[in-house]
A and B are shown apart, each in its own frame.
Chain A
């Protein structure tokens, strides 16, 4: 396996650029994950304990409960879109810089 490589992994994780990448990524991912989980569990909790709210009709026979369930899909897609945009524009670039640097050093 790849453990035999001569890349100084300790140096990689001590690299300030790696620290920046990791800090940014960690915070962003944790925030997005916590938001997504809370938003999702609002659905079964709402359906069980806030039925009166869910039953309010807002668009013909369409009620808040149905719209909230549909919103779950939209929000899941938005989370995916938001994350992949941020990752594609920022995290990937930082990771590539670090990787390019150390992979060259590792071969030398």
Chain B
């Protein structure tokens, strides 16, 4: 134990040092003279979470402790932890950014992320708690061929987690760079090693607490910002949104988005358009497809499923989903104010000038509300929000790594290699820790290797695979008498292959020709825009000059990006699949791959009968509904 604690302290110190002693600080949203503030807030958060990990490390003795915190988490704690596991930087920064740039569509996008939990609550959480143990494969292996289930289950869990993890690592690296100007590689290493410190030493106990602390911080930060945004309007929704509609920055943004049709619209009409659908989503089928992936995919995400094994009973699992829905839903309602608040106060153009994706909306809003870029309070608030964003990434990554490590150590090493539970507890924990290090190292390596790649679609892909492979398999093994080993194997293969295959030939992948054409268009239009801005700069009008300056920064950024894109695709003609243009037109494969996944489980089950699957059906059926012996599944 002592060795472990010493190792833990050294690790924590090294991870902190990687952050603070970074020799290569570039320009970020936080001004250099205030960077120490961000580090101070960081240090406080890291200090608290590390202390929790230190306490947790002493409690991790068995595999059950490591994977599921011994099943001793309460419903309310688990609800907060689910929220912390689920609300990634993409939700905190991404959705607020989307709303600040596209208005209504950004808010609409957030709805599916909450509705997903109805599926989890009604169909998945309680039965899984009643018959599961540590992993997704445990549920599948209960009545079907254990070896086969552990192999396909582990492959699927590792696939989904790797997609999600890559998106988080790359997204996290980019964000930390944009926020505090730490070099991309250092950010990835810092995120990775901090996460490893939590998971490796504290297992699920520490991961749970890191997620709870992060969720609380996220809610507090959002609440403060929303209070500051909304108070001037006396908490009136029409009053606040009326200001959004009347804002010239918002009106200008809508005019840019609409192009020619905007010429006949009055400023008020343009502003009102920001509260109406259609500025971001152009293809309704695509949107329905994405909605399906979200609503059915969340229930198949391994790191979310795993959280239900940490509570003692089905009732506690239910309570945790209800809490999670309250927190997650409440948070998304707050993003409405964060996004629109950032649009009014900071301006869509100024946000896009810092980060084209709009990710800096919430941090810049915080800085503005505190008193602007030159004030102490403004920078303190920016530092706080940046530190929360960082904690957010670490907490999500920790949950993902734990899920992937459990698939390797519990399913593949103990289940397949050793053929069952004959491995002594200490060795199981050691296997889990080794797997954690392997997955963590892999995450850091992939994160660094994928620098500069467009990985935003990987989260959607993770949801699509979870919805098309994991969800049908878990649902049907729980609720369908005839479901068999053959059905699950076929369902996992078809769901995963179709979802990944369609994505590879979809518009998500880079098509060099299209990139070149789009970039050329930007470069061709540059001269005209530049002269218009220069005219405005020369006009002498203070308002016009300020707007022109923002526009100029945005133009420089867009042109630079177009040049970079041109350089990236130079000499290339076809996508990684050898295509000139997308073969499959939807960005999300869900609408095709989810029904096919279900069909594959049905067909496979009917074609390949399995005695074991049928014999054990009464047990699965009775246990998931009554919870008989559920407590015994966690005790050893």
Q: Given A43-B111, A60-B239, check contact A54 B629 (CB 8 Å).
A: no
Q: What A residues does B295 contact at CB under 8 A?
A: 37, 40
Distance, CA A12 to CA B111, complexed state (A): 40
Query: Does A16 make an interface contact (CB < 8 A)?
Result: no
How far, in angstroms, from A2 to B272 measured CA to CA in the complex? Answer: 61
B107 — which chain A residues lie within 8 A by C-beta?
66, 69
Distance (whole angstroms) from the CB of B232 to the closest CB of chain A: 16
Residues of A within 8 A of B626 (CB): 12, 18, 21, 95, 98-99, 102
Q: Do A43 and B627 touch across chains, with their CB atoms under 8 A apart? A: no
Instruction: Return B477 CB to nearest CB of chain A, in Å.
Output: 15
Interface residues of A in 45-78 (CB under 8 A from B): 45, 47-49, 51, 54-55, 57, 59-63, 65-66, 69-70, 72-73, 76-77
Contact of A54 among B111, B115, B276, B287 (CB under 8 A): B276
Least distance between B324 CB and chain A CB atoms (Å): 9
Chain B hits for A37, CB < 8 A: 295
Q: Check: B619 CB closer than 8 A to any chain A CB.
A: yes
CB distance from A37 to the nearest CB of B (A): 7
**Is residue B500 within 8 Å, beta carbon to beta carbon, of the partner chain?**
no
Structural contact, B284 and A51, CB atoms closer than 8 A = no
B449 at the interface (CB under 8 A from A): no
The answer to whether A40 and B275 touch across the interface, beta carbons within 8 angstroms, is no
Contact call A47/B628, Cβ cutoff below 8 A: no
CA distance A13 to B615 in the complex (A): 13
Contact of A29 among B112, B123, B325 (CB under 8 A): B123
CA distance A106 to B291 in the complex (A): 45
Decide: A87 near B318, CB < 8 A? Known: A7-B628, A29-B123, A33-B122. yes
CB pair A76 B276 closer than 8 Å: no
How far, in whole Å, are A49 and B287 apart by their CA atoms in the complex? 12
- Measured in the bound complex, the distance between the Cα atoms of B618 and A81 in whole Å is 30
Bound CA–CA A47/B285 (angstroms): 12
| Complex Cα gap A92–B625 (Å) | 9
A2, B633: Cβ atoms under 8 Å?
yes
Q: Within the complex, which residue of A12, A21, A54, A72 is in contact with B628, where a contact is CB–CB below 8 Å? A: A12
Residues of B within 8 A of A60 (CB): 237-239, 241-242
Of residues 287 to 316 in B, which have CB atoms within 8 Å of A's CB atoms? 287-288, 291, 295, 315
Within 1-52 of A, Cβ neighbours of B (below 8 Å) are at 1-3, 5, 7, 9-10, 12-13, 18, 21-22, 25, 29, 32-33, 36-37, 40-41, 43-45, 47-49, 51
Known: A47-B104, A103-B629. 18 other contacts (CB 8 A): A12-B618, A12-B622, A12-B628, A18-B622, A32-B118, A33-B119, A40-B112, A44-B281, A47-B277, A48-B278, A48-B284, A54-B276, A55-B272, A72-B115, A76-B329, A80-B121, A99-B627, A99-B628
Nearest 9 interchain pairs by C-beta = A60-B238, A48-B284, A47-B277, A9-B618, A12-B622, A9-B619, A44-B287, A40-B115, A95-B626
